[in-house]
A and B are shown apart, each in its own frame.
Chain A
Amino acid sequence: MPSDLIHLYMRIDHLPHIWCPGCGNGVIMRDVAVALDEIINDTDNDIDRDDIVIVSGIGCSSRAAGYLDFNSIHTTHGRAIAFATGIKMANPKLHVIVLTGDGDCSAIGGNHLIHAARRNLGLTVICFNNDIYGMTGGQYSPTTPTGDKATTAPYGNLDRPFDIALLAAGAGASFAARGDVFHARETTEIIKKAILHKGFSLVDVYSVCPTYYGRKNKKGDAVEMLKWQRDNLIPMSRFNVMTPEDMAGKKPIGILAENDFPEYTEEYAKLIERCRNKNRK
C-alpha cells in the first residue's frame, strides 16, 4: 500500500516533492523505498534501517535523499560517490546508497563513478537518468542522444551519449543493471538485488523528463514517454528471445553484469588483520 510506504519511509514534513508533474523521479524513489522495505523486513538479510545511508549529489535526482527517511546526506555536485566512499570506508557495516543523476554521476562525477566501480567498493548507485539537466532548465547531459535538442544544443546535440550501465560494467563494476520507470516492478527487483550485492553495484534507471527533454524534443507528455519505454525497453527474459529484426532500436532492461569480485572493505579488513598479526609476532 503506497500510503503506508510513504508514512514509513518518507519524510512527510518535506513532501510534496519539488519534481514537475509527470517526472519519473518519484517512481524511482518509490522503487528504492519498496526495495529497502523488503530488504529490511526480510530477517535473513539482518539489515537494520539505521545501517542504511542515502547519499546524493546535486540535481533533480539528488532531492530524493531529503525525502527518504534514512540517514541522508545531500553533498556537492558530482561528488556523492566520493562522499559515499568515505562513509563506507569509515564504517563498512553501513549500506551506502547513492542517488544520483546522469549529469551528476557521468559528467562532473564521471571520474568518481569509474574509480568506485574499479575498486569494487560496496556501494549501490541508483542513477535517475532523464537525459537532461533538469534542475538548471534543460541543458544537454552525457546521456542526451545525438541530434536531440536542449537549451545548450539549440541546433541538435553533437555529442555521442554514454550508456551508463555499460560504462560502469566496462570500468569493472561487479554489478551493473538497467531499469526504467515503466517497468517499476522489474526495476524494484533489480534495485533490491543491487543493494544486496556484495561489491559495487549500479542501476541506471531511465526516468522521463516531459518538462524539458520531452518538450524540447517533441516526445509528447509523460504518458507518451512511458509508452515509449514500454515499447522500447524490454525485460531481459523477453529481449533474449527476440529476433534480430525485433531487437533493432530496443534496449534490454535487467542485470547486464554480475560478478563475484573481492569487495574493497573486506579486502581492507584482511589487510588490517595481516598487519596486526605481523605486529604480534
Chain B
Amino acid sequence: MSKAVLMQGNEAAVEGAIAAGMRIFAGYPITPSTEIAEQSALRLPQVGGRFIQMEDEISSIAAVLGASVAGVKAMTATSGPGFSLMQENLGYGAMAEIPCVIVDVQRAGPSTGLPTSPAQGDYMQARWGTHGDHPVIALSPSSVLETFYLMVRAFNLSEKYRTPVIFLMDEIVGHMREGVELPNPSSLIINHRRPSFHDGANKQCYYVPEGQLVPAMKPFGRGERYNITGLAHDESGFPTNNTQVAGKLVSRLLAKVEEHTDDIVRVEEYAMDDAETAVVCFGGTTRAVMSAILEARAAGKKVGMFRPITVWPFPEQQLKARLPQLKNILMVEHNHGQMLLEVQRVTGGATPVSFLGKVDGTVITPAEILAKLQEMEV
C-alpha cells in the first residue's frame, strides 16, 4: 500500500506552513481559501500553535504582523476581496520589515465576482495593491505537493528578507486533490528568526551593516526595547521627516529584493532546449498548458513551457535568456492579460507575444491552447 495520502492544495498550504514553523494563523473565511483557515484551526493547537478567527481581513493581517513582531511565524489566507482589504497593512509589513505569509487563493472578480470559480486576476494586485513603492515577493504553486514545498520557501524568503511574502494560489490548485507523500520535516531547510541584533556596538533595531541590506530582527519582550512604525523612520526605528533618510530607506527596501533576484527567482521550464515557441504560464493554468505541450510535442512541434514559480519579481533574466531562440511566445493566464504586460516589457517588442486568457470563471482547456497555437501557425 502506498504511503501517499490524498490532500487538497489548501491543506498542503497549511502543512507546509506548519513545517516551516508557522504557529499563528489569523484569518477570516472566504471562498475558495476557507479550508486553509479550517485546517489551521484543526492543526495548530496540535502543534502548540494558535488559530484566531478575526472580525475581518484588515484585522487578520494586522494580527499576523503583530504575532510576527512578537516572535512567532504567522500567516493569513484570503481571496481577492479580502486581499484588497489587506493592502494597507501589507504595505505596513513592507515598510516596518515584518516577515509573514499572506495566501491569496484567487477567484474570479472583480468585486464579489464568481466566488467559486478559478481566476488569476490578482497578479497585478499582488505587485501594486498597496500604495507607495515597496518590495514584493510572490510565489505561485501549480500542484498540491509543490504547494507544500513552496510554502516552506515562502516562509524562508520572508524571514531572510524581512518582508511579507504573497503566496499566490488559485482556485484550481487550492481545491484540487492529489496524492502526496509529505517529507519528514527534519529533511527541510528552515530559516529561523535571527536571534539577535547584528554584532558590534550599533544596537539600533534597523541598523544595517555596510554591504548588507536586511537588518536583523529581534522580537518584542526579549530584553531590548525598541520602536516600530509605518512612518518613514531612521535606523533607531523612530519617525523622521529627514527626506534623505526616508529616501534611503525606501531605496534599501526595494534593493533588498532587486539585488537578490538570483536567490529569490525560480522558474520551471519544460522542453525549452530546442523550443521555438514558449508558452508562459503560472499556477493552476500550468496543468492545461503542460497537457497541450505534450500533445503538441507528440505532433512534432517545437513548443516548450516557461513557468515563473516566483511570479514577483518577474523572472526577467530567465526569460531574456530564452528570447534569441524563440520565434514567438504564447502567454496563457486566467485573466485579461496581466503577466502578459511583464512578458511584453521583457521582450520589448522584439518577439511576438500572443495571448490566451479567460475571465468567465471557466478553466482554460488543453484544446483551447492547442487551437491558439494552431492559430499562431506553430
- Are A and B genuine complex partners? yes
A interface vs B, CB < 8 Å? 11, 14, 49-51, 53, 55, 65-66, 69-76, 79, 81-91, 93-94, 111-112, 115, 265, 268, 271-272, 274-276, 279
B310 to chain A, nearest CB (A): 27
Contacts A74-B228, A86-B67, A90-B71 given; does A112 touch B24 at CB 8 Å = no
* Interface SS of A by simple majority: helix
B55-94 vs A: 1/0 string, CB under 8 Å?
1101110111111111110100000000000001100100
**Given A86-B26, A112-B59, A275-B45, A71-B89 contact (CB < 8 Å):** no
11 contacts between A and B (CB under 8 A): A71-B221, A71-B225, A73-B228, A76-B89, A81-B59, A86-B67, A87-B220, A89-B24, A91-B221, A274-B45, A279-B46
How distant is the Cα of A81 from the Cα of B10 in the complex, in angstroms?
A: 29
Residues of A contacting B60 in the complex (Cβ-Cβ under 8 angstroms): 82
User: Contact at B63–A82, with CB atoms within 8 Å?
Assistant: yes
B226 at the interface (CB under 8 A from A): yes
Whether A94 and B50, one on each chain, are in contact in the complex, defined by CB atoms closer than 8 angstroms, is no
Does B367 have its Cβ within 8 Å of any Cβ on chain A?
A: no
> Please, which residues of chain B bring their CB within 8 A of the CB of A271?
45
Instruction: Output the residue of A66, A72, A74, A90 with the most chain B CB within 10 A.
Output: A90
Query: Lowest 10 A-B CB distances belong to which pairs?
Result: A86-B66, A86-B63, A82-B62, A82-B59, A90-B70, A90-B67, A86-B67, A83-B66, A90-B72, A71-B220
Cβ-based interface call for B247 (8 A): no
- Asked if A89 contacts B229 (CB within 8 A), the reply is no
A66 in contact with B239 (CB, 8 Å): yes
- Which residues of A lie under 8 Å from residue B23 when comparing CB positions? 90
> Please, which residues of chain B bring their CB within 8 A of the CB of A74?
227-231, 239
Instruction: Give the Cβ gap from A40 to chain B, nearest Cβ, in Å.
Output: 13
Neighbour of B46 across the interface among A73, A86, A276, CB < 8 A: A276
Chain B positions within 8 Å of A84 at CB level = 66
CA distance A74 to B222 in the complex (A): 19
Q: A66-B239, A89-B63, A90-B74 are in contact. List 12 more A-B contacts (CB 8 A).
A: A50-B222, A53-B70, A73-B227, A73-B229, A76-B62, A85-B52, A86-B64, A86-B67, A91-B71, A111-B56, A111-B59, A275-B46
Nearest CB in chain B to that of A52: its residue: B221
- A70 & B225 in contact (Cβ 8 Å cutoff): yes
Inter-subunit contact B220/A53 (CB<8 Å): yes
On whether A79 and B59 interact (CB within 8 A), knowing A50-B225, A66-B227, the answer reads yes
